[in-house]
Amino acid sequence: MSSDKKSVYKPKPISGFPEWLPEFRAVEQKWMDHLRRVFESYGYCSIETPAVEELEVLQAKGEVDKEIYVLNRVHADPNEKSDARLALHFDQTVPLARYVAQHFGNLTFPFKRYQMQKVWRGERPQLGRLREFYQCDIDVIGVDQLPLAFDAEMPAVMYEALTGLNVGRVQVRISNRKILLGLVEALGIADSVAVTRTVDKIEKIGDTAVADLLQKEVGMDAKSIDAVLQLAKIKGDAAAIKAITPQNKQMEEGVSELAFVMSAVPAGSAIADLSIVRGLDYYTGTVYETALLDIPQFTGSVCSGGRYDDLAGSYINRHLPGVGISIGFTRLFDVLSHYGHIKPGPKCPTQVLVVLPSEEKRAEASATAATLRKRGLNVELYHAPQNVKKQMEYANKKGIPFVWFPPFDAAGNHEVKDMASGAQGPADPNVWKI
């Protein structure tokens, strides 16, 4: 028996923890660069927080239903006093709240920050539901108060961010929870949480099923159910919102805020849609969801958020209202690549491959590569002296667009081959500045 083959541990992909081949990673990088550029163009600064928080911090508002991963060391040192229990963050909002509370005196408010990091959730993985994924968030935090103008800035930024990703038409849908909550109050229904959580299901299960639940589970009468469903049907611009007749102060506030936001968002980027309520009770005013109108396979919201009254109340005795919105980046990337909507990028960043015809010419070829790099180009020197055909094959296989022949003859002419067209000729000094 041959024992040539060693026993190896053949690694498998880990479900819910995606990774990409270089040509898809190149697209992911391009997308993240674009998002960063847009966020910075509106003055948002970058922060990063550790991957972990103390478990107490994550659970400061009570047990959270996200599946949290806690850390244990393989070998714990028995002499060391035990560490705080650390857990991987499951979003970037809790870490932001902790960061703002901890560094309060060193930040300038309103504090505008973006954050693009991986987060972890121990959920059962499926397409579009991952255990490790990037979120790309922007938030603005004020002290004591925060102007409503920021509620209009969120969708403006995200519309620009998402439309730059070549994902077809993007529609931000905006509502204000005060309108529905005001109506619920006016109708004399005590359990407002049950109503908003049920209305939140309209897009998934439809009007009839929601009406049924409102009757059976919340105990609402037909007239009240009708009032709620009629409200949730309202869609349109600032004018459509102004046409609503508020039935109390809370509803009036919601209408006025939403009308302001709709009048301030860029034309064509967003509609008001009162069926949007967001499940989280956390939000106190404006709420957002975002639809990709041209990609039916992508269901649900690609970018969501809202206004919250008190960001960091669990960690600091200051009143810090905020508004934020978040792209589920890897979910979007995963679903789009699954359905073939993402065209792979280059396998490597190399723009020019410099030919190495023989070991003797290494210094000369290497100097040419260095010169081209100084011109801002990404340049590889072929790694071993081999026949030129083999070097061309390498360029082809890696998708390198140009192959460069340094002046190895007395005439001193550089030649370039354009791999796409096949044309080869002297390097035009105006183009290549060499």
Say whether 41 sits in a helix, a strand or coil. Answer: helix
**Which structure tokens are listed for 114?**
């973006």
Distances (CA, A) of 260 to 108, 171, 175, 213, 394: 26, 18, 12, 33, 58
Which parts of 289-348 interact with a second copy (CB under 8 A)?
Answer: 313-317, 347-348
Return the residue of 31, 35, 68, 141 that touches a second copy, per CB under 8 A. 68
Residue 106 engages a second copy in binding (rule: CB under 8 A)? yes
Angle, in degrees to the nearest 10, between helices 177-186 and 192-199: 130
Q: Pick between residue 247 and residue 344 the one whose CB is nearest to a second copy.
A: 344
Residue 150 engages a second copy in binding (rule: CB under 8 A)? yes
Site string for a second copy, 107-136 (x = CB under 8 A): xx-x-xx----x-x-x-x-------x----
Strands 132-141 and 415-418: unpaired
Which parts of 259-288 interact with a second copy (CB under 8 A)?
Answer: 264, 266
Q: Pick between residue 204 and residue 433 the one whose CB is nearest to a second copy.
A: 433
Do residues 266 and 154 make contact, with C-beta atoms less than 8 angstroms apart?
A: no
Residue 82 engages a second copy in binding (rule: CB under 8 A)? no
Return the residue of 1, 8, 410, 431 that touches a second copy, per CB under 8 A. 8
Return the residue of 54, 91, 212, 252 that touches a second copy, per CB under 8 A. 54
Residue 239 engages a second copy in binding (rule: CB under 8 A)? no
Residue 50 engages a second copy in binding (rule: CB under 8 A)? yes
Do residues 350 and 398 make contact, with C-beta atoms less than 8 angstroms apart?
A: yes
Cα–Cα distance, 394 to 384 (Å, whole number): 12
What is the DSSP track for 183-198?
HHHHTT-S-HHHHHHH
Return the residue of 136, 139, 149, 418 that touches a second copy, per CB under 8 A. 149
- φ and ψ of 267, to 5 deg: -55, 135
Site string for a second copy, 365-404 (x = CB under 8 A): -x---x--x---xxxxx-xx---------x--xx------
Return the residue of 34, 91, 102, 242 that touches a second copy, per CB under 8 A. 102
Say whether 249 sits in a helix, a strand or coil. Answer: helix
Q: Pick between residue 267 and residue 410 the one whose CB is nearest to a second copy.
A: 267
- φ and ψ of 231, to 5 deg: -60, -45
Return the residue of 89, 98, 178, 307 that touches a second copy, per CB under 8 A. 98
Say whether 213 sits in a helix, a strand or coil. Answer: helix
